[in-house]
Structure 1
Amino acid sequence: MNTVRYGSKEYTYGLTDFARIQKDNYYYVDKTQYIPLIERAAPYFFLIRPRRFGKSLLIDVLTWYYDINRKDRFEEVFAGCRIVDNPTAEQGKYLILSFNFSDVNPMPDKVFESFEQHCGFRFMEFADSYGRFFEPGFREELMRQPSADAKFSYLVSRATQLDLPIYLFIDEYDNFANAILAREGHDRYHALTHSEGFFRYFFNKIKAAATGDRAIKRMFITGVSPVTMDDVTSGFNIGANMSADSRFNGLVGFSEEDLKTMLNYYDAQGMLSDGVEDIIKVMKPWYDNYCFSKRSLNEPMYNSDMVLYFLNNYLPHQEAPDQMIDNNIRTDYNKLRHLIRIDKTFGVNASIIQDVVANGSIRAEINSSFPAEAIVLPENFKSLLYYFGLLSIQEVSMGRTILGIPNLTVREQLYTYLIEAYREAHIFNLDYHELEDLVWKMAYQGEWEPVFRYFASELERQSRVREFIEGEAHVKGFLLAYLGMVGGYIIQPEYEAGKGYADFYMMPDLLHQPDIAYSYIVEVKYARRDATDADIETLRREATGQLQRYAADPLVAQTKGDTRLGLITLVFKGWELVVCEM
């Protein structure tokens, strides 16, 4: 955890201890207004959100709110929060049993022992906290039970007999299961989540404890996908999946209003060297634009971890960080990569990522439940990308949901995945350092043509890639993935300008490279191998006219700064670059 102390409110990045946030006067983005909504919505509440989106802090807030042992500290700990003036009748009414399965070691030879150990410690903490509500000897008898599921059954049985209500929290329920699926494959995962697998059996116990007049009265479970829940419960039938409910679109993460309020606070403390709107303008394309409900298209959310990473760097230095992406985010996306890169021969799902990279969006229906073995189906795969935060709801058009890449942070991750998919399938590979040097000359010396000639020469030399060049989108996919990984430019595919869409705009990254000299709009056209010279000329003229319209758009003038704008036409005939002009 990195902490910087400023003014009357301290600021922290990485802290999920709600009581400490309040006690030590850290800035807290209040989410307590959702507590009554959660109560009314479902007693057994399931929330899926991408990694590092504030789920763990939310759970800590809820445990402090409902814990019977902390009832008398409610006004102290929740001071300044919306809920403090109008608490619900259930405040401070529950015994809290909580698990965080990110603590479980996912190595196959360690996972059972680690799971048992984690659960054992949590049962011991429960007994230490609430032993006075039970008969003498409860703690000792609980800990004598031979397994986690036996301890759970005993605890629930005694609490039911004594009419003691329990609120069960499970954070990152699918963490170690996902890791096993990614590293070890379906067989190991299946043994964990099916038939007599210990994880499935544990969830069977949870289902039983939440049935009828048993002690588990409320439950709150978080994770990053519905896959494991589908497998361990044969469909989520122990509660309500509220992930797509519009009432909870803003339950975690920051709305733009949240962000403005925070920035206005620090501005009032004299801690911002730039205006609030200027800072938001910098942050928005990198961290914003997550939408979790079709009815919440006008309420996009910022990833809270990304925002706090930015502020943790901005506040002490009074300027944006050199690296806009938190390395912790990259690490987490690398973990997800092993789950989504499942077709090493560059099959349908790798092509889905390529299409998303090239076009910026894709039509899809979000499936709320599917087993791990069905991830390979295209609609499930698109849904998985959505749950992981790699795609977000962009619009609903003609009754179909359109998923798009939410921001530049995610776009970089998808570029990485696509490049690795090309390489692992032995389809295409470029010398990254040579390309980076060429793009640097393009940016600062205006030498643009060698970049595309190099790319075209590699398309011709690496013969296997020709099998995958079926049209403009595939050519663009190759270009965008590699150009997006080098510095100097923010690559904007399908850039809306001049009442049309340029194939991509190489927008100068003036924030980090203010002395960059050139920017470019690129229009890519594709012709079949049997195209005539007249066909090629028609495409060339079409591209030239489009580029002139794009260049006249005010959005380009606002973003190019003092750079000289180049308009580049590329026409490919199959894999051959036959027109390369500016």
Structure 2
Amino acid sequence: MKFPYGISDFDSLITRRLHYVDRTDHIPLLENAGDQLLFLRPRRFGKSLLLSMLENYYDINKAERFEELFGNLAIGQDPTPEYNQYFVLKWDFSVVSSEGDGEEIRRNLYDYLNMRFSDFYRNYQSILSEPIRIDPENATASFQSLLTAVRQTGHPLYLLIDEYDNFANEIMVRDRTEENRYQAILSGEGCMKALFKAVKAAAGGQGLRRVFITGVSPVAMSDLTSSYNVAENIYLLPEFNTLCGFREPEIAKILAMIAEECKLTGSQMTDALSMVRTFYNGYRFSRRAEGLVYNPTLALYFLKAFHRDCRYPEE
């Protein structure tokens, strides 16, 4: 048994046959929930792996590998009609620097976005019928060029945004004197507000079919509502309580396998599960949900060490 601690690349996880807790059965639920979704969870809760799974499922470039990647998973037995039908554009705002004043942050953001647009063109160059024009001074103009190129193909675009609020949160938590910088990116014609205004417009018939956004807090999205008021909040719905994270029975099943390999007694396995409950504490994100869900990063750390050493981790 190989545990994917710290790995958020779905393709790598599956091809290397690492342990994967299957959440692909949620894909039809996500499609039915809406076209523009907001999903919030604490840090290191598996959101990036979730987006990577969706990226591989919908990416038109991965069509020939569908059976390899999803054949042994729930969705592989009954895929939705939309599988491998999209261009996929992915933004990860956790890598955007929040250093400097409002103008420097805008430059950091636009440089990152233009890099992603260039990567997008390289990934889909064989399908796109025209190039994407990168505007070094205005990433929203680059985005418009990307949308134009996508529309010529007849295939829709799926936009995945990871940690949408990361650098905004970093500004907020540093110092109260940072409020001016926060307002500079999220109010008026701030760069984040302008970007999400462009995303909203793109979803209005310009080629962008679906948007899935992850983050930690709804605060930044609340401040963006005048420019992006179309995202449906799904993070408190009971059907998505376990979209990320481990259910207790799943942890118990893994512990039973470890106990067998380590020749542990039933009481020792029970003690291990009690240890997980005590130190890693389960979450219930929806009041209507049954059962708890555990932070997957913390759980995997414990399980990997327990499997390797046949004893609890010391830290």
TM-score (norm 2): 0.93
Of residues 151, 156, 160, the one that matches 1:169 is 160
The code of the aligned residue for 1:153 comes to Q
The code of the aligned residue for 2:76 comes to V
The code of the aligned residue for 2:192 comes to F
Alignment of 1:210-249 (within 5 A): 210-211=203-204, 213-234=205-226, 237-249=229-241
The code of the aligned residue for 2:55 comes to T
User: What does residue 122 of structure 2 align with?
Assistant: 128
User: What does residue 251 of structure 2 align with?
Assistant: 259
> Separation in 1 of the partners of 2:187 and 2:49?
31
The structure that is strand-richer by fraction is 1
User: What does residue 92 of structure 2 align with?
Assistant: 100
Off by >4 Å, runs of 4+ in structure 1: none
> Separation in 2 of the partners of 1:219 and 1:86?
23
- Report how far residue 85 of structure 1 moved: 0.8
Give the match's secondary structure for 1:233: coil
Of residues 278, 281, 291, the one that matches 2:271 is 278
Q: Is the 8 A contact 1:32 1:83 kept in 2?
A: yes
Q: Are residue 81 (structure 1) and residue 73 (structure 2) matched?
A: yes
User: What does residue 294 of structure 1 align with?
Assistant: 287
Q: Which stretches in structure 1 are left out of the alignment for 5+ residues?
A: 1-8, 324-582
Q: Are residue 196 (structure 1) and residue 185 (structure 2) matched?
A: no
Higher radius of gyration, 1 or 2: 1
Q: Is the 8 A contact 2:147 2:202 kept in 1?
A: yes
User: What does residue 393 of structure 1 align with?
Assistant: none
Alignment of 1:295-444 (within 5 A): 295-296=288-289, 298-323=290-315
User: What does residue 14 of structure 1 align with?
Assistant: 6
Aligned length: 309
Give the match's secondary structure for 1:13: coil
User: What does residue 42 of structure 2 align with?
Assistant: 50
Q: Is the 8 A contact 1:230 1:236 kept in 2?
A: no
The code of the aligned residue for 1:125 comes to D
**Cα 1:165–1:273 shift into 2, 3 Å:** same
User: What does residue 208 of structure 1 align with?
Assistant: 201
- Report how far residue 291 of structure 1 moved: 0.7
Q: Are residue 63 (structure 1) and residue 36 (structure 2) matched?
A: no
Q: Is the 8 A contact 1:19 1:77 kept in 2?
A: yes
- Kindly report the root-mean-square deviation, in angstroms, between the aligned alpha carbons of the 2 structures: 1.8
**Cα 1:119–1:62 shift into 2, 3 Å:** same
The code of the aligned residue for 1:246 comes to P
Give the match's secondary structure for 1:158: helix
The code of the aligned residue for 2:142 comes to K
Q: Is the 8 A contact 2:70 2:76 kept in 1?
A: yes
Q: Is the 8 A contact 2:203 2:209 kept in 1?
A: yes
- Report how far residue 34 of structure 1 moved: 0.5
**Cα 1:216–1:273 shift into 2, 3 Å:** same
**Cα 1:122–1:235 shift into 2, 3 Å:** closer
> Separation in 2 of the partners of 1:75 and 1:204?
37
Q: Is the 8 A contact 1:53 1:252 kept in 2?
A: yes
> Separation in 1 of the partners of 2:38 and 2:254?
29
Give the match's secondary structure for 1:27: coil
User: What does residue 379 of structure 1 align with?
Assistant: none
Q: Is the 8 A contact 2:106 2:185 kept in 1?
A: no
Q: Is the 8 A contact 1:253 1:301 kept in 2?
A: yes
> Separation in 2 of the partners of 1:135 and 1:41?
32
TM-score (norm 1): 0.51
**Cα 1:217–1:272 shift into 2, 3 Å:** farther
